[in-house]
Amino acid sequence: MRLGEHAGLKDSKPLRDIFGEALLDVVRDNPKVVVLDGDLGNSTKTELVRKAFPERSFNIGIAESNLVCIGAGMAGVGLIPWITSFSSFLLCNAYDQIRLSVAMSKINAKILGSHGGITLGKDGPTQMGIEDLALVGGFPTMVILVPCDPASMRAAVRAATDYEGPVWLRSSRYAMPEVYSQDLDFVIGKANTVREGNDLTIIANGLMVAAGLDAAAELADEGIEARVIDMHTLRPMDVEAIVSAAKETGAIVTAEEHLLHGGFGSNIARVVAENCPVPMRFVGLEDTYVESGDPDELLKKYHLTSGDIENMAREVLAEKRKAK
């Protein structure tokens, strides 16, 4: 079964393609926007901008430290740079430059971390961003956005461009199903409830939102109504939505295409522990690097499917009942 099928979601183009189209739109609309890439325009899809606006597109080459510093310099003179590459390359090769020139300086630069998660598949673990959100989480001034479908990617690109300050946007090679209509209400720092339910809450981001909706549809056949929340902004996190979910449903499952250690589930657990402790379970990558393979097969092997969310939901509900 394809991701989103049980929830009745339609297939879409790869999320990186949607990013390229959305970026081209903001470049057309805002003359201050410029685009920099690390010789990966065909993979990040910034090549769409290069073809249409070559004078506002800059290929810095395979030199991520320079890529970040040049982008920060452009921001310093009033432009709005989109600095783009694979998240693994940016964070492994230019962490210091992102920290000093962008995050610490609170410069108005936007960074695309493409090919996040494991679903780039056959390119293998060297290019998979499985620790990206934990590393970016180390920049206290950085807004962190993780869209889950085409509409939210388009909205996130525009919201990030309009936001005054540093933003990290995660993209993917994977074709994520359509969760939202085009009139999506996307607000930085405000989570979206995409399904109502009172028995437990599934909090997810990225492709795990569709998986969470699939899980909720399956659980409904058993008489279990799961709320599903798209936590598209990891910083600033919507604390109110998390606390309300804990109080109103009494159990939470988090789901992310990322390492559990340092992932967003641990940040949600901190909010829950401080405000309204309830039983929790976590779906994500255990302490391992992932082998190369077909994306859907990798999701199954490393337990990032709707079935894994369902299993955790049943476990957390059993614990919730015991606590009563």
Residue closest to 268 by CA, chosen among 279, 257, 254, 258 = 254
Catalytic residue among 47, 64, 256, 310: 64
Is residue 274 flagged as an active site residue? no
Alpha carbons 235 and 163: distance in angstroms, whole number: 13
Catalytic residues, which ones?
64
